[in-house]
Structure 1
């Protein structure tokens, strides 16, 4: 089985990962306590059953299976789960977000296969985080040695990042950087050895090359196909190629984050003007072939918390210019606007090889320069793009996030998640709003859905008004597979489509 992927892999250590493409591979190598299935329901993975939760919502009691082996033959126990938690909170480890882990007040191992976790405060979203690849359980007996030898720090270039040992359905055989990753079925996997003996993740940075190799059969699965390629894939199917093509709404949204540390973007009117000056609906219709849904916040229409009544920005360049004038941004002799000696000049950064992102850059440059901005474009490969994002070395940065199926967006918008101020988090824009902080904190403590709907409706209203990010569209996920592949069940959550690869088999 050969899966094509566009973005290169930087690490296979789940402690440090923050990439959806890395998660695809990690789902094969590692296991998690629970899974989220395609119906967005929890089911046990390493657990005998879903955890028992105390009435006050603070205590979770877990029971592990006793038949799980790591790929080196050692048993997985509660000590490995506790050690994984310790690695997530270790000060020197470059963990993308510690928010989930910082909620833990006490972690008690009660016997080799049982443990209890007590939270500081109730959090109705907390359990979901255990379902995703970045919460995979790592082997203490291997990782601890590297951690201590490296000055109590794990690195993306470390031995375990390059040579991981997990308890998942497949074990790593070979990794050729920027080329491919080869996995082989683990014969002692606790659910039974997978029927597909080898899985190859093939790195192909260019989306058009990916499509061509899918057509010729050089790759078997084309996941995260570009929206504009949907019709081409359907055409292959209609012309007799033995494939299935899936298109389904999901939680992944494309957006352009502002670096709010820059004075020019601290004017809300600038952000609103740029949104008015981008032809969102035309972009979706032409560039994406209609395979996408307009985004006005980070909450998708498929969410139970979606607010259909928030502010929307129909394409209106005249309104954009009016806002800029009112905010004091005046055109200079060269047509570029200035305010207090600062030019409205900036660079749009994105990841290389993605046609939709490149088209967004080009259209935005044309439209925004027409209203008085000076715009440069740059694109980087996966690791360099990741460095630009996590170091906050950008002006405007275009990429995609995946929301959880719970509407909480604390890791992205709460002010304590600004990495350069708090040392962790994914609020790379540097957004601060006291009311949003207050609402997000309240939303985690309330179990009543109607009350939570009211909270997240207000969060969406504020985000749509303040625009720390320009929300462009929610991706209708497109994936194509051979029609003789059984048990392929597309998953719209962050679990990704490899979530159940242990069940895949050829018909």
Structure 2
């Protein structure tokens, strides 16, 4: 959403630190100065704290002590006077009792006067131009970054950084003098700074004792470079081209070579600027609302380079936007694309709708309002999509498509689909179909130096085999896709110590997609009967231990638009039988219903090799058989073939699968008529069901122009009511995002939504020492 919040901080002038590694270690030892022996106590206030591990290790090594009440107080702060005392002790400076006091705010009887004078004389801490020392001022996070950076010997490296590359929502607040230090603090090879809530770097806020402990731990034990992470999935992507692909397996791979997007999300789903320097806002003038129209300025970061070494700039975006405007290009258009006013602006490459302001900035003209303009840029909205697509790669493919008139070029060209060029931390080196994809470190990555030597994605379609290989640990470090909830519980309760199972709550909507053109399922009474015959509570209790949520609508309970649905298909087999009788289906031989000599028989398809889905599939067949429906569950296919068949709308009756949705998902691409795939639109669109309802299409067109959340909710609740009444999809349950990782893999933080697949922060991963 468009941010309306301003961040107000007091200004603080910098002071310089001259500090050695020895100084810092000694400083930390004296940081908590009360005489409590470090190795004899356990701090009672750090359990489950963000920095518990780092605090305990430093305490175990005798580097920190706490307070007599057995607390560490990790969220308390440190003042400049305390820092002066610590620095004097660390450097073993004599207390200065002779130098004239130059600071008007440090009285002669101040408890830290002699220490302040000593470190001032030594040049470690200086005062301010107004003649003050500000002894009670607290150490800021920017100052902490400088302290650690200098201790690591990064002064010359920090001096080369002119603009922050922090991917935080408050980068503009980083003091000019601290840009290099703070940026390096977030780079993969250093990682001595962490984010505050809402993805803030908080450079002017006071550093906590816990943050100081974490920073020093990272100084003592810097991230380990090297090694290869092997990521297993039960599905193989059909392509790595986000212009034509939809599979979650594709998104999972793409976040390693194409990340970050224009605006990313972290493990807590907080949006933050990726290749944009900041999210546009009304407050800073980069969003201007003019009646029903908008003007938005997008500022791309300088210094972004593609994995082949070419420099990225705004002309790459403009060229890709031109290609997307071509009707021959086989891609699902962004909701923002159709709102660009192509009658305005000078444009470029033969299309209008924007003005290029400089090599890294563009003003886009919208003819309609849209509340998501600070979250996407036109042409790049799917997870893992690059906001800047390399023109030198794309133009060759586009020209060939135009010359031949064949849009399949976009689906077959190697540089678009098999070995793409991106600006992410790694780059694709090999794809052996049916086996693996390998990636190596991208030497041109703009956000620091990735730590791993490479990544291997292994495709293991059978989930039982996948579980066995996770347990063995020989060739699987991360299981990103495919493990079922029951398998993850086995690992959690009695698995090997080298593996940890993760259960991330997310918008994974498991459902049945209905072929709305089928002669049997075209009857709404049959669809409703099938839904009433499903005991969702039993499914989640039997197969998921009651830990997953039954779904009665497509909005997850954590989605901002959720409310208890007005129409709810609670398990009622008698109601199901009644509806089938009303539809003319009479019970016949073998307990199966017939109508005009035709058996009530349907095919339920899902992805082959998924053991848990297979169990749910069999359970659904049993429940439907109980009300007189014969179900064929023998037509399952491998993931790529299943997706192709679904996308081309070649399935007979029902398909069981999941959409991994986003906080911005509102059902547009699933339920609008124009998103029904067909030969006429090159089979682009996610309305695989063939659902047609003009009111729903109108509501989903209108909802994006509602600039308030309450307004959007009103529109979506009406849309939801219609869709649930007509049932082009039959909700089953919301899945937890189940993954595993080896316990020595640091910074594995799965997010559970489409914007944060398990690999979203792969640039931070490394193996612990």
**TM-score normalized with structure 1 length:** 0.94
Q: For the residues of structure 1 that align with 2:759 and 2:234, how far apart are their CA atoms?
A: 15
1:86 and 1:330 mapped to 2: Cα distance? Answer: 57
Please tell me whether residue 133 in structure 1 is matched to residue 384 in structure 2.
Answer: yes
Give aligned pairs, total.
505
Give, in angstroms, the shift of residue 98 of structure 1: 4.9
**CA–CA separation in structure 1 for the residues paired with 2:665 and 2:328:** 30
- Cα distance in 1 for partners of 2:510, 2:643 equals 16
Cα distance between partner residues in 1 of 2:590 and 2:678: 35
Aligned equivalents of 1:87 and 1:286: distance in 2? 49
Secondary structure of residue in 2 paired with 1:27: helix
- Of the two structures, which has the highest relative contact order with CA contacts closer than 8 Å and spacing of 6 or more? 1
Aligned to 2:447: 191
Deviations 1:338-362 (A, max 9, x none): 4466542221111111123212321
Q: Give 1:85-484 correspondences, 5 Å limit.
A: 85-105=321-341, 106-129=353-376, 130=380, 132-150=383-401, 151=404, 153=407, 154-160=409-415, 161-217=417-473, 218-224=475-481, 225-236=483-494, 241-333=497-589, 335-339=591-595, 342-377=598-633, 378-394=635-651, 395-420=653-678, 423=681, 424-484=684-744
1:55 corresponds in structure 2 to 289
For 1:223 and 1:502, the matched residues in 2 are separated by 16
- Which structure's residues are more often strand, by fraction? 1
**Contact kept? 2:262, 2:375, Cα under 8 Å:** no
* Residues in 1 aligned to 2:502 and 2:674: alpha-carbon distance in whole angstroms: 38
Partner of 2:305: 69
Contact 1:89–1:102 (8 Å) recurs in 2 = no
Q: Which runs of no fewer than 5 residues in structure 1 stay unpaired?
A: none
What is the CA–CA distance in structure 1 between the aligned matches of 2:694 and 2:606, rounded to whole Å?
A: 30
Change (3 A) 1:420 1:80: same
In 2, Cα distance between the equivalents of 1:93 and 1:296? Answer: 37
Work out whether residues 4 and 219 of structure 1, in 8 Å CA contact, stay in contact via their aligned partners in 2: yes
Q: 1:301 to 1:413 in 2, by over 3 A?
A: same
The offset of 1:94, in angstroms, is 2.6
Higher Cα Rg, which structure: 2
Q: Would the alpha carbon gap of residues 303 and 371 (structure 1) be closer, same or farther in structure 2, given more than 3 Å must change?
A: same
Q: Structure 1 stretch 416-425 or stretch 33-42: which is displaced more?
A: 416-425
After superposition, the Cα gap between the structure-2 partners of 1:199 and 1:263, relative to the gap in structure 1 and judged at 3 Å, is: same
Give 1:481 shift: 1.4
Structure 2 CA distance for partners of 1:409 and 1:380, relative to 1, 3 Å: same
- Distance (whole Å) between structure 1 residues aligned to residue 451 and residue 556 of structure 2: 36
| 1:183-235 Cα shifts (integer Å, max 9, x gaps) | 11112200012011111111111112111111111211112431112211212
Is the aligned partner of 1:18 residue 2:265?
no
TM-score by length of 2: 0.63
User: Mean alpha-carbon deviation: is it higher for 442-451 or for 88-97?
Assistant: 88-97
Give 1:142 shift. Answer: 1.5
| 1:407 CA displacement | 4.5
Tell me if 1:35 matches 2:264: yes
Counterpart-to-counterpart distance in 2, 1:432 and 1:33: 33
Q: Deviations over 1:438-495 (max 9, x none)?
A: 3222321112112222222232233322211110010111222122322222223212
Instruction: Indicate how the Cα distance of structure 1 residues 422 and 463 shifts in structure 2: closer, same or farther if over 3 A, else same.
Output: farther
8 Å CA contact 2:232, 2:457 repeated in 1 = yes
Q: Quick one: distance in 2 between partners of 1:408 and 1:128?
A: 15
CA contact (8 A) 2:279 2:375 kept: no
Deviation per CA, 1:47-99: give whole Å up to 9, x if none.
Answer: 22223221346222111112111111111111111222233343233324554
Change (3 A) 1:58 1:236: farther
> Partners in 2 of 1:479 and 1:437 — Cα distance?
36
My pick for the range that moved more, 263-272 or 53-62, is 53-62
Task: Give the distance between the partners of 2:610 and 2:749, measured in 1 at CA.
Answer: 25
Q: Tell me, what secondary structure is at the counterpart of 2:621?
A: helix
Tell me, yes or no, if the aligned pair for 1:291 and 1:475 is still in contact at 8 Å: no
Contact 1:288 1:356 in 2 (8 A): no
Asked if 1 retains the 8 angstrom alpha-carbon contact of 2:296 and 2:373, the reply is no
Q: Distance in 2 between matches of 1:466 and 1:128?
A: 32
Partners of 1:296 and 1:310 within 8 A in 2: no
Q: Within 2, Cα distance between the matches of 1:121 and 1:278?
A: 42
The alignment yields a C-alpha RMSD, in angstroms, of 2.1
Shift of 1:4: 0.6
Q: Describe the shift of the 1:87–1:23 C-alpha distance in structure 2 as closer, same or farther (beyond 3 A).
A: farther
Distance, in Å, in 2 between the alignment partners of 1:230 and 1:354 is 14
Contact 1:35–1:42 (8 Å) recurs in 2: yes
Report the CA distance shift for 1:227/1:276 in structure 2 as closer, same or farther (over 3 A): same
